[in-house]
A and B are shown apart, each in its own frame.
Chain A
Amino acid sequence: MENILEVKNLFYQADEQKILKDITLNIEKGSYVTFIGPSGSGKSTLMRILADMINASSGEVIFDGKNINEYEPTEYRQRVSYAFQQPTLFGKTVKDNLEFPYLVRNKEFDRTEVSKYLEMVNLSESYIDKSVNDVSGGEKQRIALLRNLIFQPEVLITDEVTTGLDADNKTIVRNLIDKFNHDNGVTVLRVTHDDAEIASASKTIRIENGEMK
């Protein structure tokens, strides 16, 4: 299988502290890779580098055959989308959030299409006009994840997106990510501490003290 991401001899250092040490790994197109390891081991830093939110101190990341620094950052981040652990919702209404991916691509907001996506996470169309203050924590994460997925990315990076959610919300979020991986071939890189998620993972990579184990 073809590699969509290749990480070569990656180091990351902040204030004299070495956070990532010589990480080398390949991610196959369409795979579902789970990153595990203790808190503070460097998993999130690695994900942020892969999402082009921060630069590595040295080493390189190749995406689709090209160094990620050679891409226009906005184009790269639309293709490799990063979902945060505790997302914030923008603006006043849910629409402000679900419209954002359209604004990014200079496209008209499509209410019908968005309603279909909302249905996938068990939310009705009426949520579009809801105030962001009227949605629960679990609903917030589901809506935030849709912002990443409405325009399907090639790689989805999820950084502990199910942490703090109740069982029902966890299932909805997991099913959504699984669906995009199985049905649409989206490559998924997942950071998690959840035992059930680790147990069901098809491929895991362990990071400890900034090193791959």
Chain B
Amino acid sequence: MSNLTVSNGSLALGFVLVIVALIIGYKEKLGIDKDIVIGVVRAIVQLSIVGYILKFVIKTNDIWLTLACFVIIVINAAYNAGKRGNGIPKAFRFSLLAISVGTIVTLGTLVLTGSIKFVPEQIVPVTGMIASNIMVAIGLCYRNMKQTFSDRHQQILEKLALGADVKLASLDILRDSIRSGMQPTIDSIKTLGLVSLPGMMSGLIFAGVDPVKAIKYQIMVTFMLLASTSLGSIISCYLAYKQFYNEQKQLNINLIS
């Protein structure tokens, strides 16, 4: 494993790459220098803390501590996904439910089928992978939903005026929003191995695992992400679209920008 060690010196030298990004940002007047600095500092601090916490959790190998990590990851993911749904009432609650269900179902299936073991070194990273993918998917769903409700509000009004229920009036938007949440996962699946060697597989190859075995893990991850993003997108969209209507099944104009 010695070939995996990154010394503090080489890490400092790697920082040169950040300076390149900063120089480009400054020269081109992109106004992103502050964001880059904040992003880099946050990444260093957050990852350092997480590194020590993970070391402790893995060493302790306690079920409650593992579950606590699961809960923290899911809540954080839901909070960030909820922010994307800013303006949609109860967006955080819906994200929390969608991410919880998506993660529990996917993780549960993987554990029950023996694909992974219920040990912290497997549960915590896989939870992170699943929850972050659902988080991105839900964020895209919310953004698409807000935009399309705004773009197509005249059409919705006409459908309601014809006596349609809110679900029938929103069906096109629901389908588009769910699709927009799942599309990045589907696109990345199509190019697996051709464009990217994803994180899980690369990590295992780095750690010296036979690439053929690493591929099996990656295929499992692919199934896992497909299932979790579809579950998360469907649950969040089906809960969120109703917020665009009031109790009288009228379009809630306040939510339409």
Contact = CB atoms under 8 A, between A and B. Distances in A.
A91 B175 CA distance: 13
**Nearest 3 CB-CB pairs, A to B?**
A78-B163, A82-B161, A73-B249
Kindly name the residue among B160, B161, B165, B248 whose own CB sees the greatest number of chain A CB atoms within 10 A: B161
A75 interface: yes
Nearest to B155: A88
Interface string B153-176: 011011111111100100010000
A88 B161 contact: no
Contact of B163 (A69, A84, A87, A104): A104
A84 B248 CA distance: 20
A101 B251 CA distance: 19
A124 to B, nearest CB: 24
A54 B248 CA distance: 9
B122 interface: no
Given A83-B161, A91-B172, A104-B168, 13 more contacts: A54-B250, A55-B250, A74-B249, A77-B161, A78-B162, A78-B163, A84-B161, A88-B154, A88-B155, A88-B158, A100-B164, A104-B163, A147-B158
Contacts of A52: 248, 250
Interface residues of B, number: 17
A69 B165 contact: no
Interface of B: 154-155, 157-165, 168, 172, 248-251
Interface residues of A, number: 27
A51 B154 CA distance: 15
Given A52-B250, A104-B168, A84 B157 contact: yes
B162 A101 contact: yes
A148 interface: yes
B160 A77 contact: yes
A148 B162 contact: yes
B217 to A, nearest CB: 43
Interface string A47-76: 000011111000000000000010001110
A101 B249 CA distance: 17
A51 B168 contact: no
A103 B155 CA distance: 16
A109 interface: no
B252 to A, nearest CB: 11
A84 B158 CA distance: 7
Interface string A25-51: 000000000000000000000000001
Nearest to A69: B248
Contacts of B248: 52, 55, 69, 73
A166 B53 CA distance: 74
Contacts of A82: 161
